[in-house]
Chains A and B, each alone.
Chain A
Amino acid sequence: MPYSDKVLDHYNNPRNVGSFDKSDTTVGTGIVGAPECGDVMKLQLKINADGVIEDAKFKTFGCGSAIASSSLATELVKGKTLEEALQLQNTDIVEELALPPVKIHCSVLAEDAIKAAIADYRQKNGIAE
Chain B
Amino acid sequence: MSVTLPIYLDNNATTRTDPRVVDAIIPYFSNAYGNAASKSHPFGWVAEEAVDKARAQVASLIGADPREIVFTSGATESNNLAIKGIAEMYAEKGDHIITVVTEHKAVLDTCKHLEASGKSVTYLEVDASGLIDLDALKAAITDKTILISVMAANNEIGVLQPIREIGAICKERGIIFHTDATQAVGKIPFNVEDLGVDLASFTAHKMYGPKGIGALYVRRRAPRVRLSAQIDGGGHERGFRSGTLNVTGIVGFGEAAALCEAEMAADAARLQALRDAMEARLLAEIPECQVNGNREHRLPGLLNISFGFVEGESLLMGLCDVALSSGSACTSASLEPSYVLKALGVGDELAHSSLRFGLGRFTLPEEVEWVTEKVISEVARLREMSPLWELHLEGVDLSTVQWQPH
Contacts and interface: CB of A to CB of B under 8 A. Distances in A.
Interface of A: 3, 11, 14, 17, 19, 31-42, 59-64, 66-67, 102, 105, 108-109, 116
Given A33-B406, A34-B404, A35-B349, A59 B387 contact: yes
14 contacts: A14-B385, A17-B385, A31-B387, A31-B404, A33-B403, A34-B406, A37-B405, A39-B311, A60-B387, A61-B387, A62-B311, A63-B311, A64-B314, A66-B311
Nearest to A59: B387
B405 A42 contact: no
Contact of A11 (B317, B352, B386): B317
Interface in B278-321: 309-314, 317-318
B227 interface: no
A105 B406 contact: yes
A40 B404 CA distance: 9
Given A11-B314, A59-B390, A109-B406, 15 more contacts: A11-B318, A17-B384, A33-B405, A35-B348, A36-B348, A38-B352, A39-B406, A40-B388, A42-B387, A59-B386, A61-B310, A61-B386, A61-B387, A63-B311, A64-B313
A35 B404 CA distance: 10
A36 B387 contact: no
B398 interface: yes
B406 A38 contact: no
B330 interface: no
Which 4 pairs across A and B sit closest by C-beta, in order of nearness? A34-B403, A42-B387, A34-B405, A63-B313
B405 A61 contact: no
Nearest to A3: B317
B380 to A, nearest CB: 13
A57 to B, nearest CB: 11
A37 B406 contact: yes
A59 B313 CA distance: 16
A42 B390 CA distance: 10
A61 to B, nearest CB: 5
Contacts of B317: 3, 11, 63-64
Contacts of A67: 314, 385
B1 interface: no
B139 interface: no
Contacts of B349: 35-36
B5 interface: no
B5 to A, nearest CB: 16
Interface in B383-398: 384-390, 398
B335 interface: yes
A109 B317 CA distance: 20
A41 B311 contact: no
Interface string B326-350: 0000000001000000000001110
Contacts of B314: 11, 62-64, 66-67
Contacts of B347: 36
A40 B184 CA distance: 39
A34 B404 CA distance: 6
Contact of A19 (B312, B313, B348, B390): B390
Interface in B344-393: 347-349, 352, 384-390
Contacts of B406: 32-34, 37, 39, 105, 108-109
Contacts of A64: 313-314, 317
A39 B314 CA distance: 11
Contacts of B389: 61
A31 B387 CA distance: 9
Nearest to B405: A34
A5 to B, nearest CB: 13
Contacts of A3: 317
